[in-house]
Structure 1
Amino acid sequence: MTAQRTQPDLLYSEEEEALRAAVRDLLTDHCAPADVIARTESHAPHDLALWKLLADGMGLAGLLVPEAQGGQGASHREAAVVLEELGRAVAPVPYLTSAVVATEALLACGDEELLERLASGRAIGALAVALHTAPGAAVRTVRLENGTLHGELTGIADAAVADVLLVPADDGGLYAVAADAVTITPQVGLDLTRPPATVRLQAAAGRRIGAAEPAVRRALQAAAGLLVSEQLGVADWALTETVRYLKERKQFNRQVGGFQALKHRLAQLWLETVNLRAAARAAADALASGEDAEISVAVAQAYAAPVAVHATEEALQLHGGIGMTWEHPIHLYLKRAKADSIAYGTAGAHREALAELVDLQAP
């Protein structure tokens, strides 16, 4: 008798709502928009003090790590809630890159020592794969010569604050390399809160921790699926703040939000955001249960990027002149949405992947 697939629960549980409230309160107190903007103008865009509060104080860095290995033993659903709130605040912390991507790669390799370090917040990890790489896509590797690693990798998100880099090599292995053994050069990126960097390895010592292909595939699959929740947070902030602003702003002695044309635009944004929430929850639930994860992630990613970009573009336009200023945080959200639209595969790449998964390729 064939087992019936259980219907995904897209609603937030009480525990997930409590987690959301705790994270939002922390970010409200320690991640003000003005502070984030000020950081983007400095040489230290990452907020490591905030990261310490999230990772060490709240234990969020180890959400996906089993309790036996020093983590919280939670699921992708809880991690999705955290990412939704981090997206809502465009928090400049390496949660996605360290607590999700690097952690998933280490879980695939079974490296308990590094897992414990990342889960406790004592170390930040980064998978040395370009941010734009989609799950299953070809990955650039470095050379293994005489037991050391040589090569250059570009577009590595959050490499500047990583303590350990997980580097794929041409022998098929994934190597743990200390950050002080490589040269990390910042690159100019659109998203000022998640800066990329070039990583150069010249006879760098590394410890092989497992096979690269399955570890990278698992890490990128989780990254793509949970990135949707970050995009949801960005879109939801844009919609909420735009509605609030249009209720306060007046022209010709009328609330701007009362104009019919603007109501229609906001209604369209609301519909898109509601659908995005369903897609994000479905992807997180599928990753947590392991059922139809590839399809759910591809569907969510194919939908998420255009919605997040549209929401932030509309927010900028509907805020009028103030939306164009550097002092207003809208530009941070627009840049995050645009950068996320190519992170871990474009919407087009995920549509192509989905067509293959459901056998609906174009003629």
Structure 2
Amino acid sequence: MAVLTDEQTMLRDMAREWASNESPVTAWRKVRDANEAAGFDPAAFGTMAEMGWTGIIIPEAHGGSDFGWLSLGLVIEELGKTMTASPLAASAVAASAILLGGSDEQKSAYLPRIANGELVATLAVDEGGRHDPGKIAASVSGGKLSGEKAFVAEGDSAGLFVVAASDGLYLVEAGEGVSVSRRHLADFRSHAAVSFDGAPAAKLEAGGERLLDAVLDRAAVLAAAEMLGMAGQSFDTTLAYLKQRVQFGQVLATFQALQHRMANLFSEIELMRSAVEAGLAAIDRGGDTRAAASLAKAKANEVGHLMSRELIQLHGGIGMTDEYDAGFYLKRMRVVEQMWGNAAYHRERFARLSGF
């Protein structure tokens, strides 16, 4: 477990208190039932911006707090516990692309608006059903970008897209040449198919040939942080249920077989935490983040899948009902598991980076 500063502890506790009191799972139910394309509560996101969360990784010169990726990960983890939907992670990843590859003019134009929550930004990379940044067909000619992006998180509400093209990353504003189509996935969040047809585009010139890799690392680790929050909450919910559910005249938690399963889950989640926090810390340190990011996402995918499956199984029939919260965690976990690379993708990437 990472050693937190006093300021990071305060931030984590503030996020935990706000999420528990102001954005519990019942709030997500209201968002889900409203069935809006944006997939989040704008008022709640406005509150996050007022608390400074939208500017955590943005430098003070551009309106942020420059508090680091571990700090942002702590917030994302707490929001994951209560299924709080927001474009916080997507905007942070897009902001990181501008920070790493943008010009001074681009930074000044977009970062302050992302930091204060005025602008929702997102990353548009994948063009098929699986994460594969090596296969990018979108192209730019004469400053106009054309191509299709199959699954763009928060694409329905984004005002700015960081788009992967065949020759690098480009900034494209919503509007001219941009068409957004809503996708309906199991988690009921915003996932859009976005078509670019001669959209005005400005290239992120800095950052070098590994710019896309660096940005995707940040996206993967933030996704892993959300999964960590969901896994931790799923464990706590399951443990509480086993302690009060009586079957065959005994409390379920007294059965040794179930105790062993819960002990294994606890150990796996702690390993997951170590990998995720190491990934966040690696980004804060700078340098090559690829191995740490792939380790974090691979472990998060494996443990998140296991914990969400056990969440349903150990709750039995009630876990399958919409009246109970377990299904929300299972559905969201399965979607995030595929975002920015599944376990097989990141295991292979980690092995390749390690020389195997």
Letter of the structure 2 residue corresponding to residue 261 of structure 1: A
What is the 5 A alignment of 1:157-196? 157-170=153-166, 172-181=167-176, 182-193=178-189, 195-196=190-191
Letter of the structure 1 residue corresponding to residue 30 of structure 2: A
Identity of aligned residues (%): 32
- For 1:102 and 1:34, the matched residues in 2 are separated by 29
What is the 5 A alignment of 1:246-261? 246-261=242-257
Corresponding position of 1:47: 41
Contact kept, 8 Å, 1:141 with 1:168, in 2: the verdict is no
- For 1:97 and 1:139, the matched residues in 2 are separated by 21
> 1:320 and 2:316 equivalent?
yes
Letter of the structure 2 residue corresponding to residue 152 of structure 1: E
Shift of 1:38: 3.1
Shift of 1:104: 1.0
> 1:275 and 2:271 equivalent?
yes
1:296/1:201 CA distance change after superposition, 3 Å: closer
1:168/1:211 CA distance change after superposition, 3 Å: farther
Aligned length: 346
> 1:92 and 2:85 equivalent?
yes
Contact kept, 8 Å, 2:24 with 2:84, in 1: the verdict is no
Contact kept, 8 Å, 1:65 with 1:115, in 2: the verdict is yes
Letter of the structure 1 residue corresponding to residue 29 of structure 2: I
Shift of 1:278: 1.1
Q: Tell me the TM-score normalised to structure 1 length.
A: 0.89
What is the 5 A alignment of 1:277-356? 277-290=273-286, 293-356=289-352
- For 2:266 and 2:141, the matched residues in 1 are separated by 54
> 1:149 and 2:141 equivalent?
no
> 1:203 and 2:198 equivalent?
yes
> 1:23 and 2:15 equivalent?
yes
Q: Please list the CA deviations of residues 17-64 of structure 1 after superposition, one character each: whole Å capped at 9, or x if unmatched.
A: 211111111112222212312322333222221111112x11111111
Secondary structure at the counterpart of residue 166 of structure 1: strand
Secondary structure at the counterpart of residue 160 of structure 1: coil
Shift of 1:141: 4.3
- For 1:209 and 1:286, the matched residues in 2 are separated by 23
- For 1:129 and 1:276, the matched residues in 2 are separated by 26
Letter of the structure 2 residue corresponding to residue 178 of structure 1: E
- For 1:354 and 1:117, the matched residues in 2 are separated by 35
Corresponding position of 2:3: 11
Contact kept, 8 Å, 1:83 with 1:233, in 2: the verdict is yes
Letter of the structure 2 residue corresponding to residue 108 of structure 1: L
Corresponding position of 2:55: 62
Secondary structure at the counterpart of residue 130 of structure 1: coil
Q: Tell me the TM-score normalised to structure 2 length.
A: 0.90
- For 1:13 and 1:255, the matched residues in 2 are separated by 40
Contact kept, 8 Å, 1:108 with 1:214, in 2: the verdict is no
Letter of the structure 2 residue corresponding to residue 127 of structure 1: L
- For 1:224 and 1:25, the matched residues in 2 are separated by 26
Corresponding position of 2:24: 32
Q: Please list the CA deviations of residues 259-313 of structure 1 after superposition, one character each: whole Å capped at 9, or x if unmatched.
A: 1111111111111111111111111111111266322222222221110111111
Contact kept, 8 Å, 1:104 with 1:215, in 2: the verdict is no
- For 2:52 and 2:213, the matched residues in 1 are separated by 26
Corresponding position of 2:64: 71
- For 1:119 and 1:215, the matched residues in 2 are separated by 21
Secondary structure at the counterpart of residue 175 of structure 2: helix
Q: Which moved more, 1:44-53 or 1:204-213?
A: 204-213
> 1:126 and 2:122 equivalent?
yes
- For 2:169 and 2:320, the matched residues in 1 are separated by 44
Contact kept, 8 Å, 1:185 with 1:199, in 2: the verdict is yes
- For 1:73 and 1:269, the matched residues in 2 are separated by 34
Shift of 1:167: 2.2
Shift of 1:318: 1.1
- For 1:175 and 1:292, the matched residues in 2 are separated by 22
Contact kept, 8 Å, 2:213 with 2:290, in 1: the verdict is no
1:214/1:292 CA distance change after superposition, 3 Å: closer
